């Protein structure tokens, strides 16, 4: 493990945490995230860069031994399930770090996408990406035009929201771009989905 790189990464996390807190605060009228809500950790692929995964593993090694074993067992069974699946590439799974109480067992060490979940985002393709939980009646659900996958301005007015819903450039590509949030002191390394790091 490259501890110098992890030190720079931690500084980067401090910066983005402050930025993301500001974004969540700005959009709080539309956001329902709260402790115990973990739909976003129950079905996904969780892409993490090499440095993120190293940082996650720092959290993993702090867990009690029995909790570590549970995580490894979950990883093993996810891999077995994926082997049996017809669509291996698109295979979705519950994050192995989500514990029985629906809490992230390595919360302080979680990855970048875990920190941006819940906001509206826009990527380099300029397409709006909506948190999937809007379809469960959660974040931004009152103002999304589902058919056209866009914000419905009439609904924003109808429900008297004080601020406009806003999409931020915070997809993983942007967040790991050294010209934007990161500096050039470290490299993120390759990006893989979570279970492929094990
Ligand atoms: S992003 Fe959605 S599913 Fe995840 S914690 Fe927030 S409200 Fe819940
Ligand atoms: S690492 Fe934690 S926050 Fe991220 S998907 Fe897994 S359980 Fe959720």
Q: Tens of pLDDT along 48-104? A: 999 999 999 999 999 999 999 999 999 999 999 999 999 999 999 999 999 999 999
Ligand 1 contacts CB of residue 133 (under 6 A):
yes
The string of DSSP letters for 104-123 reads: BTTGGG--HHHHHTTSEEE-
Ligand 1 contacts CB of residue 96 (under 6 A):
no
Buried b (16+ CB within 10 A) or exposed e, 92-125: ebebbbbbeeeebbbeebbbbbbbbbbbbbbeee
pLDDT at 24: 96
Would you say residue 148 has pLDDT above 80?
no
**Relative to the alpha carbon of 39, which ligand is closest?**
1
Whether the CB-CB separation of 96 and 195 falls below 8 Å is answered with yes
Task: Give CA–CA dist 1/178, Å, rounded.
Answer: 21
pLDDT tens across 170-197, in order?
Answer: 988 888 887 776 667 888 999 999 999 9
Q: Is 196 helix (H, G, I), strand (E, B) or coil?
A: helix
Would you say residue 168 has pLDDT above 90?
yes
Question: To the nearest whole percent, how much of the chain has pLDDT over 70?
Answer: 98
Q: State whether the Cα torsion 127-177-131-39 is positive or negative.
A: positive
Q: How far is the CA of 112 from the centre of ligand 2 (A)?
A: 10
In degrees and rounded to multiples of 5, residue 192 shows phi and psi of -140, 160
- Higher pLDDT pick, 31 / 148: 31
pLDDT at 26: 96
**Residue 178: CB atoms within 10 Å:** 12
Would you say residue 114 has pLDDT above 80?
yes
Task: Write down the mean pLDDT value for the chain.
Answer: 92
Q: How far is the CA of 72 from the centre of ligand 1 (A)?
A: 25
């Amino acid at each position: 493990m490259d501890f110098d790189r992890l030190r720079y990464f931690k500084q980067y996390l401090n910066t983005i945490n402050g930025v993301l807190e500001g974004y969540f605060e700005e959009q709080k009228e539309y956001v329902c995230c709260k402790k115990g809500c973990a739909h976003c950790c129950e079905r996904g692929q969780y892409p993490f860069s090499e440095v993120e995964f190293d940082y996650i593993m720092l959290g993993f090694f702090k867990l009690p031994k029995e909790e570590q074993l549970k995580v490894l067992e979950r990883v093993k069974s996810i891999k077995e399930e994926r082997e049996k699946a017809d669509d291996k590439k698109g295979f979705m799974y519950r994050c192995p770090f989500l514990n029985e109480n629906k809490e992230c067992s390595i919360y302080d060490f979680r990855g970048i996408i875990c920190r941006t979940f819940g906001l509206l985002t826009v990527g380099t393709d300029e397409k709006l990406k909506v948190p999937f939980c809007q379809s469960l009646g959660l974040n931004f659900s009152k103002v999304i035009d589902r058919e056209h996958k866009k914000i419905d301005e009439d609904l924003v007015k109808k429900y008297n929201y004080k601020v406009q819903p806003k999409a931020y450039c915070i997809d993983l590509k942007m967040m790991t771009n050294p010209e934007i949030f990161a500096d050039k002191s470290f490299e993120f390394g390759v990006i893989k989905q979570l279970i492929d790091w094990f």
